[in-house]
């Protein structure tokens, strides 16, 4: 089978050290204020029943990438091996790909005026090295490899575990798979900012026509 790169993030092993984030910044020289990857950290529960959940976030290198579909200059394209690339010479910085991406993993390079993203360190892959984040992960929570090769670790881990992807309803077919991801960490709002209607007369009206969601029970 042809090479198809994929990543599995085993959150049972992740300790939230942010080493992947730091390694990426160091490898790519990403400017201040923007990130090719990051580790979302969510705390839930109350003492003594409390836990932290982590969600290392990267480009999902989708099989059906909306950014590639919407890029007007073909600056964003999919390589044969599944990597979603960004051509720095072609990109005009229209930011339509950023507007289309459901994962907010693209950013406008403040120095170059073009859109940049995670490319799974294609420059390292092409010389036989693994991506910098995978290389830096101390607990081997990031498993990277060729899905086309049934002998690869990533293919075997994927076959043996229950996995999920981010926002599967967007039909982008992500190729970053998560094992043991927490629901609140995967949710856009982390459940923390669940908003409710605050204008009184709007709330009254919505209640009348039955569109108001029941409020969370009050805890003592």
Partner 1 sequence: MEQDVQVLYNVFHEPPLGFWIALYFYMTGLSAGSFILSTLSYGFGLKKYKPIGFIGVVLATVLLVLAPLNLIIDLGRPERFWHLFPYLNVRSPVTWGSFLLTIYPINCLIYAYFMRKKNDRMTKIFGLIGIPLAISVHGYTGFILALSKARALWNTAVMPILFLVSAMVSGIALMILVVQIRKLFAPPGARATYDAILVDLGRILAASILADLFLIFSDVLVLFTADTEAREAAIMILSLDFSPLFLGVEVFLGSLVPLAILALPQLNKRPGWLSLAAACVMLGILAMRYIMVIGGQHLPLS
For partner 1, the binding residues (CB under 8 A) are 34-35, 38-46, 52, 57, 66, 69-75, 90-96, 98-109, 112-115, 169-172, 184, 187-199, 202-203, 206, 211, 213, 216-217
Distances (CA, A) of 181 to 26, 27, 54, 104, 155: 27, 27, 8, 18, 19
Query: Which residue's CB is nearer to partner 1, number 14 or number 91?
Result: 91
Buried b (16+ CB within 10 A) or exposed e, 122-152: eebbeeeebbbbbbbbeeebbbbbbbeeeeb
End-to-end Cα distance, the chain: 58
For residue 61, the minimal CB distance to partner 1 (Å) is 16
Residue 162 exposed, middle or buried by CB count within 10 Å (0-12, 13-18, 19+): exposed
For residue 62, the minimal CB distance to partner 1 (Å) is 11
Query: Which residue's CB is nearer to partner 1, number 94 or number 157?
Result: 94
For residue 89, the minimal CB distance to partner 1 (Å) is 9
For residue 164, the minimal CB distance to partner 1 (Å) is 16
Query: Which residue's CB is nearer to partner 1, number 148 or number 191?
Result: 191
Query: Which residue's CB is nearer to partner 1, number 1 or number 49?
Result: 49
Among residues 16, 28, 36, which one has the least CA distance to residue 138? Answer: 16
């Amino acid at each position: 089978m042809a090479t198809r790169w994929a990543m599995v993030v085993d959150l049972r092993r992740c300790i939230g050290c942010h080493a992947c984030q730091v390694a990426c910044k160091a490898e790519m020289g990403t400017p201040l204020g923007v990130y090719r990857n990051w580790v979302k950290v969510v705390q839930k529960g109350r003492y003594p029943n409390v836990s932290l959940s982590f969600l290392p976030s990267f480009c999902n290198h989708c099989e059906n990438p909306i950014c590639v579909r919407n890029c007007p200059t073909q600056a964003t394209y999919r390589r044969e091996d599944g990597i979603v690339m960004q051509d720095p010479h072609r990109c005009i910085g229209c930011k339509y790909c950023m507007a289309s991406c459901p994962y907010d993993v693209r950013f406008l390079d403040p120095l170059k005026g073009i859109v940049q993203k995670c490319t799974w360190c294609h420059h390292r892959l092409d010389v036989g090295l693994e991506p910098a984040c995978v290389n830096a992960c101390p607990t081997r929570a990031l498993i990277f490899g060729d899905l086309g090769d049934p002998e690869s670790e990533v293919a075997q881990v994927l076959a043996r575990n229950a996995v999920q992807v981010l926002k599967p309803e967007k039909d982008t077919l992500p190729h970053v798979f998560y094992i043991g991801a927490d629901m609140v960490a995967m949710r856009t709002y982390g459940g923390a900012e669940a908003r409710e209607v605050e204008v009184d007369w709007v709330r009254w009206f919505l209640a009348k026509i039955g569109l108001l969601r029941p409020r969370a029970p009050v805890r003592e």
